[in-house]
Structures are given as C-alpha cells and as structure tokens.
Amino acid sequence: MRMSLRLGLAALCFLAVPVFASAADRAYVDLFGGNTWLDSGSGLGGNDHAPVLGLRVGQRVDAHLGIEAQVAAAFAQLQKPVGQSAKQYSGAVIGNLYAFNGPNTPYLSLGLGASSNVFGTAAGRVTNPVAIFGVGYQHLLGDHFGLRLDVQDQMLFDNPVPHNGLLNDVQVTGGISYFWGGSGRHRAFPIIGPAKP
C-alpha cells in the first residue's frame, strides 16, 4: 500500500512539472492597434481622439499571473493650431491577472508608466505619470499565435490642461500575439490526468 502511494505521488509530480514549467516559458510579443479617446477635460475640442499603434512584450509567469511591457503611439493632433502634429507616446509595465489557467481567458490589467504629450504651444511637450486599469480577453490560435482584445483606462496625472489634474485616456485595441515555446505535445497549460500504466 505504501509503495503504491509513493508511486502515485511520484507520477503526479512528474506530470505536474511540465504544467508549471510551461506556464513560465510562454514569452510573447503582441502587435496591437485601435483608437484612443481623451476625456472632455482635455480641452482639445475635436482633436481628443486618434488611432493608436503599439507593441507589448511579456511572459505568463504562472497559471494566473503575467507581466508585460507596453509601448504605444497615438497619432493625435493634440497641439493647436491643427496642422502642427504632436503625437502621444506612452510606456508602461503591466501585470495581468488571468481568470482561468487555460490559454483562452479574460484578464484584469493593472500598470504604471509614463505618457509624453503636447497639450498646447504654451506648455510644450510634457511627460505625465500614468496609472493603467483595464480588462481584456486572450484567445490562442494553435501553438504559437493568438488574438487579444484590450480596453484600458490610462489615467494621466498632473496635466497642464484647463482642470490641472487627472485626465482619462481610454484605449480600445485589438492585437495579434506570437508565443515562443509550446507544441502539440507541450501545450501552454496541459490538464493533469491519471498516469497510464
């Protein structure tokens, strides 16, 4: 009986190791695009929204937690008069809390970073601290490719806008991801099953 118990525990450990190892080796890159909207407090009139493009590089460190670096550029005419182009640049480190341990899962995003903006000719370009709160969904397509949908509220602090303070910048983006590692026999998060005799 004791020998059977030891063999069973050994088999379970043997099967569990690839699960946690594979959870930590799924580094990825995500190219995304969408649109960004600044709230009415920006004082930018009709120039408070624009397309946005960006890149994320990250890794899922265990079944329910991931970390990524995000950089983006919004092609907004934030500077007046219109015609003087001033892009919005941002960068952040983000933690993702996944709802499920599988590759297809919704998640919650929390992050900190900075955003470089031009709100007017008098202030020039300024850099603002940013806190990020967002939600998203990830869907894996095969072993290496996936799709993502993200909605982020990028809260810009200490802005030289009419209200001098918090400014909400909402970004809605879709992306395509490439995952390193994984194969038909070594999936991202395989399910532990009974050992075959």
Q: What is the pLDDT along the chain (197 residues), one digit of tens a residue?
A: 555 545 454 444 433 334 333 434 579 999 999 998 877 655 555 556 788 999 999 999 888 999 999 999 987 655 454 444 557 889 999 999 999 988 899 999 999 999 987 766 556 677 889 999 999 999 999 888 999 999 999 998 877 665 567 788 899 999 999 998 765 444 444 445 555 55
Residue-range domain boundaries for the chain: 26-179
List CB contacts of 117: < 8 A, sequence separation 6 or more: 78, 86, 88, 125, 126, 127, 128, 156, 159
Residue for token pair 């809605």: 172
Which of 18, 56, 21, 47 has its CA nearest to residue 148? Answer: 56
pLDDT at 125: 75
190: burial class by Cβ within 10 Å (0-12, 13-18, 19+)?
A: middle
Cα(66)–Cα(2) distance, integer angstroms: 39
pLDDT at 110: 97
Tokens at 51, concatenated: 């397309």
pLDDT at 157: 85
List CB contacts of 174: < 8 A, sequence separation 6 or more: 32, 33, 34, 147, 148, 149, 150
26-179 adopts what CATH topology?
Answer: Porin (2.40.160)
pTM: 0.73
Tokens at 182, concatenated: 């994984």
List CB contacts of 126: < 8 A, sequence separation 6 or more: 116, 117, 118, 119, 159, 160
List CB contacts of 95: < 8 A, sequence separation 6 or more: 65, 66, 67, 109, 110, 111
